[in-house]
């Protein structure tokens, strides 16, 4: 009798294993790009304008964009501005005075998009670009 139960049990375990593999966690990251340029460099204020692009439309709106630079005197990173993108992915940041004559790094932060479950995640990837500010 045990000879008949062992093959049936093995088949049942194999079926459960294949089901578990099919139902395992799924994580997908959509690529994101960012372009930017200094559009207003009059007097003391500098304004950087740009656009976030992605094949996934949900990856355009409400993306956090942070502008930083490396202060060579203190060898530390300083945030000089931040904003959130519009529905089309456009953004504009007025930089602080510290960003004069540097290369500002603009980083678009990662974002989760639907579906948001523990086992099924879609993410909008991180993107960055450098902009010379004179």
Model pLDDT for residues 28-87, shown as the tens digit of each residue: 899 999 999 998 766 677 899 999 999 999 999 999 999 999 877 788 889 999 999 999
How far is Cα 26 from Cα 96, in angstroms, rounded to an integer? Answer: 41
Checking if the pLDDT of 130 tops 50, the result is yes
32-40 and 46-54 as β-strands: parallel, antiparallel, unpaired? antiparallel
Q: Residue range 104-110: average pLDDT? A: 95
Q: What's the pTM?
A: 0.75
């Amino acid at each position: 009798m045990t000879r008949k139960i062992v093959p049936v049990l093995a088949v049942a375990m194999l079926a459960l294993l294949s089901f578990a593999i099919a139902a395992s966690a799924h994580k997908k990251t959509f690529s994101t790009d960012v372009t930017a340029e200094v559009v207003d460099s009059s007097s003391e204020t500098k304004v950087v304008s740009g656009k976030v692009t992605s094949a996934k439309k949900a990856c355009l709106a409400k993306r956090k964009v942070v502008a930083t630079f490396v202060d060579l005197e203190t060898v530390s990173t300083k945030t000089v501005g931040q904003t959130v993108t519009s529905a089309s992915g456009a953004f504009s940041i007025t930089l602080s005075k510290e960003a004069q004559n540097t290369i500002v790094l603009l980083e678009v932060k990662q974002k989760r998009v639907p579906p948001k479950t523990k086992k099924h995640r879609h993410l909008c990837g991180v993107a960055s670009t450098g902009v010379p500010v004179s």
